[in-house]
Structure 1
Amino acid sequence: MSARLPSWAWVTGLTTGAIAVVAVLAVQADQGTKPTASATRPSASATADAKPPAKPTEPPAVPAGSGTGRRIVYSLGDQRVWLVDASDTPRRTFKVWPGTVTPDPGTYTIGTRTEATTGSDGVEVEHIMYFAVKSGVSVAFSNAVDGSSPPPAASGTKTGGIRVGKADGKALWTFGTAGTTVRVVE
């Protein structure tokens, strides 16, 4: 009859064998090449190509003389809109693409709001918020459904749409409920 080894003997033998294999691999690894620190500086071209991290730019300040309280400020010269809360803190600002008809500087309110339609330039638009009329042309904020910027208006075409980016259009739609003040400044 053959003698049977107890299970502790098997475990001990396997553990000893595993330790021996790890020790052999460690010795082999220790004899291999090792990384070393370079005592030389990077070349001038390497440092010339490196750019410092970009500083976050401060958004442009809300124009002086644009009123107080909760409002939408539209700067004709900067082609920019600010959404300003009741504490006079700007919550968002973004560039816009004005139409060929621009409102006169002054104070207006959001009147009619239309979820979606086709603009006078043939582009599908959404989040349309009308706030002024000039020379018989309605002036409104909107964004293209496909997120594109508007093409230049054809010669002689009167357009009052002030286009904004898609995400900005959604934010403007949420902020600019009917009756919200719109302050247009130079």
Structure 2
Amino acid sequence: MAGLTAAALAAVGFLAYQASANVPETLAAPSPKTTSTAPPAGHAAEHKDKKHPLTVPADSGTGARVVYALDDRRVWLVNSKGKMIRSFAVMPSSVNPRPGSYKVRSRTGVIKGSDGVPIEHVVLFAVADGGVPVGFSAAQDGSMESPDRKLKTGGVRMKRADGNAMWAFATVGAKVVVVP
């Protein structure tokens, strides 16, 4: 019985830790070790504020959508009520789509990527300059390496768990918004 109680307490503690680690900064209690992120005087032009990963870019529209921020190398999955349901880092391809609104054109479960890497959960949504198809995918080996800039590839790579979430969320016709 004591072993069961200890296991239950460990599970509750782990879940509490996870919940506290995912609280947006605006809702979290200030930490005594918090330091200012303001740039030094005279350096404002060099400083670029990074958005909080749980904050969907304001210029990404409304409704259910996948938001891909090129500069932040991040994706948000947003439900029909405008609530972010998942956010994750991605590795951009060597060719990027222009900012704008797109729709998922096709999906492929498993295939070899244009860089030769076996990939899964391919969600194509755009064609970039030069006719390069652009889409989200996850490498089957879990890698997210920087693409070879000599190759003209359009695969935006993500971790496999994020690829699973993308696959479940972004069906054919789903809205994809690309922001700078």
TM-score by length of 2: 0.70
In 2, Cα distance between the equivalents of 1:148 and 1:157? Answer: 18
Which structure has the larger Rg over C-alpha atoms? 1
Query: 1:151 Cα shift?
Result: 4.3
Q: Deviations over 1:63-91 (max 9, x none)?
A: 01100000000000100000000000000
Deviation string for 1:35-84 (max 9, x for gaps)? Answer: xxxxxxxxxxxxxxxxxx99625343000110000000000010000000
Matches within 5 A, 1:30-179: 56-57=21-22, 58=24, 59-134=53-128, 135-153=130-148, 155-179=149-173
Q: Deviations over 1:85-132 (max 9, x none)?
A: 000000000000011100000000001100111111111000001000
Partner Cα separation in structure 2 for residue 60 and residue 104 of structure 1: 23
Identity of aligned residues (%): 49
Amino acid across the alignment from 1:136:
G
Counterpart secondary structure, 2:59? coil
CA shift digits 1:3-40 (9 cap, x unpaired): xxxxxxxxxxxxxxxxxxxxxxxxxxxxxxxxxxxxxx
Query: How many angstroms does 1:150 deviate by?
Result: 2.6
Partner Cα distance (1:68, 1:91) in 2: 14
- Secondary structure of the residue aligned to 2:166 is helix
CA contact (8 A) 2:54 2:84 kept: no
3-state DSSP of counterpart to 2:150: coil
Amino acid at match of 1:152: P
How far apart, CA to CA, are the structure 2 residues paired with 1:180 and 1:91?
A: 15
- Give ranges in structure 1 of 5+ residues lacking alignment: 1-52
Counterpart-to-counterpart distance in 2, 1:171 and 1:181 = 15
The two structures have a TM-score, normalised by structure 1, of 0.68
Q: CA separation in 2, counterparts of 1:129 and 1:60?
A: 22
More off after superposition, 55-64 vs 165-174:
55-64
Q: Alpha carbon RMSD of aligned pairs, Å?
A: 1.6
- Structure 2 regions of 5+ residues with no counterpart? 1-16, 25-52
- Matching residue's letter, 2:106: T
How many residues align structurally?
Answer: 133
Deviates more, 1:172-181 or 1:143-152: 143-152
Displaced runs of 4 or more, over 3 A: none
